[in-house]
Amino acid sequence: MSLALYYFLAITAIYILMSWGLYLPYRVAHLHFLTVANMLISGYLAGFLVQNLGFSFWIALILGFAAGGILGYLISLFIGDAPTFTVVIVGFTFIYVSRTVVENLKAVGGTMGMFGLPTVAGTPSTHRTVLLILLYVLVVVVGFLIYRFEHSRLGRAASAVFVDKDLATSLGVDIKRMGRLVQTFSSLIAGGCGVLYGFIYRSYHLDFFTFHLVGIFMTVIFVGGYATMWGTVIAAPALYGLTLILPTEVASWRIVIYGAILIAVLVLKPEGFITRRLAYRVENALTRKRKRHITDPKGD
C-alpha cells in the first residue's frame, strides 16, 4: 500500500471515530468539544508513558482510553444535563486548559512537542499495518455499539431528549444519566483516538490538537447528516479526500469549497446528505432482502 493511501485511510478512521464522538452526545443536543481535550491529554499521556517510562504501546493505549473515559465521566457528573451552550463552554475551556498545561510540562516536550515515538510493532511497515488494522477494528466495534444504541430504547430516549428535554423527562427519561452515558463514551473513544493519532505521526505537537479539529468534525457531521451515524462514514473520507485529489491550484481554495458545501447543505438539505429517513429506508430494504433470502434461499 502506498504511504499516501495509508495516511489517508488512517486519518479518515480518526475522523470517523472522532466525529462519532461528537455525534453521540449531539443525539441529546450536547456539543461535546471536550473530546478534543481528551485526545490531547490521552495522547500526551501515552507518549510520555511509552517514551519516558518505557511502557508498551498496548498498555499506553488502554490507559489512554481509560484516561479519556474517566475524565469524561467526572466532567459529565457536572454537565450531564447541562444546556448545550454550557457543554460547549466547558469543552472549549478544557481545550485551553489542557493546552496550557502541556505547554508548561517539560517532561512531554512543552511547546517543542514529542519526537521519535517508537513503532508499535517492528518495522515502520509493520507499524503501519498494525495501526491500520487497529483503527478499522475500532471503527467497526464503535460503529456496532452506536448502531445498537440507536436501535435500542436508549436511542429512542436520546431522540426524545433531542426534541424536548421536558417532554423526555415527563416520559420517564433520566436525562442526566443519558447525558453522562453518551459523554463518557465519546470521551473514551476520543482518548483512544488521541493515542492513535500521535502514533500515526510518531510525534506529538500541541498544534495537532487545535480548535481546527472541532471545525473539521463539525463539518463532517453536518455535511454527512447529524441525525444518523452513517453520514459521518460518507462525509469523513469525502471531505478529507476532496482536498487531496483536487489539483494544486484548486486545492488552495478548499476552505472556500468547504464553506460553499456547508452553506449549500444547510440551505438545501439541513439534515445533511444522509437523513434518518434515507438510512431507515436503506436498512428496511436490506432487511426485506435478507428476510426473503432466509425464507426462500434459492430465490424461487
Partner 1 sequence: MSKKLMALLAALLLVASFAMAAGEKEAAPAAAGVVVDQWEIPFLNSLTGAIASIGEYLQWGAERAAFEINQAGGIAGKPVKVIGVDTALEPQLGVVEMGKIVNWALVALGPVPEPVIMAAAPIAVENEMMTMTATTSLEYAERFFPWSISWFPATADRLPPLATEWAKMAGVKRVVQFVGVYGPWPGMAAAHVDGLKAAGAAHVGDVEFNVDAVTFGPLVVRALDMKPDGIILACWPDKAAKIVQELKNRGWTDMNKILLFSSADDAALYTTGGAALNGTIIYNYINVDTDRPRWIAFKEAYSRDHNGLQPPSLSTNYYDAVYMIKRAIEETGVTGDPRKLKEERKAIAAYMFNMKNFEGLLFNWDMSNGIPTNKPTYLFEIQDGRKKLVKEIRP
Q: Is position 149 an interface residue for partner 1 (rule: CB under 8 A)?
A: no
d(CA 40, CA 214): 13
Which H or E element spans position 274? none
The residue type of 111 is T
Q: Which of 148, 151, 156, 212 binds partner 1 (CB under 8 A)?
A: 212
Q: Which of 54, 166, 172, 248 binds partner 1 (CB under 8 A)?
A: 248
Which of the ranges 63-71, 174-182, 238-246, 266-274 carries the binding residues for partner 1, by CB under 8 A? 238-246
CB of 172 to partner 1, least distance (A): 44
First and final C-alpha spacing in the chain: 43
d(CA 262, CA 267): 9
Contact 226, 272 (CB under 8 A): yes
Q: Which of 121, 205, 242, 271 binds partner 1 (CB under 8 A)?
A: 205
Q: Is position 115 an interface residue for partner 1 (rule: CB under 8 A)?
A: yes
Which of the ranges 28-36, 71-79, 99-107, 151-159 carries the binding residues for partner 1, by CB under 8 A? 99-107
Which of the ranges 50-58, 130-138, 226-234, 245-253 carries the binding residues for partner 1, by CB under 8 A? 245-253
Q: Is position 105 an interface residue for partner 1 (rule: CB under 8 A)?
A: no
The residue type of 33 is F
Q: Is position 116 an interface residue for partner 1 (rule: CB under 8 A)?
A: yes
Q: Is position 92 an interface residue for partner 1 (rule: CB under 8 A)?
A: no
Residues 165-204 touching partner 1, rule: CB under 8 A, are: 200-203
Tell me the Ramachandran region of residue 277: left when phi exceeds 0, alpha when psi lies from -120 to 50, beta otherwise: alpha
CB of 24 to partner 1, least distance (A): 22
Core vs surface per residue 76-104: b (16+ CB within 10 A) or e:
beebbbbeeeebbebbbebbeebbeebee
Task: State the DSSP code for 204.
Answer: B
Q: Is position 100 an interface residue for partner 1 (rule: CB under 8 A)?
A: yes
Tell me the Ramachandran region of residue 179: left when phi exceeds 0, alpha when psi lies from -120 to 50, beta otherwise: alpha
Q: Is position 129 an interface residue for partner 1 (rule: CB under 8 A)?
A: no
Phi and psi for 114 in degrees, rounded to 5?
A: -110, 130
- Contacts with partner 1, residue ranges (CB under 8 A): 2-8, 11, 96, 99-100, 103, 110-113, 115-116, 124, 200-203, 205-208, 212, 240, 243-244, 248, 251-252, 254-255
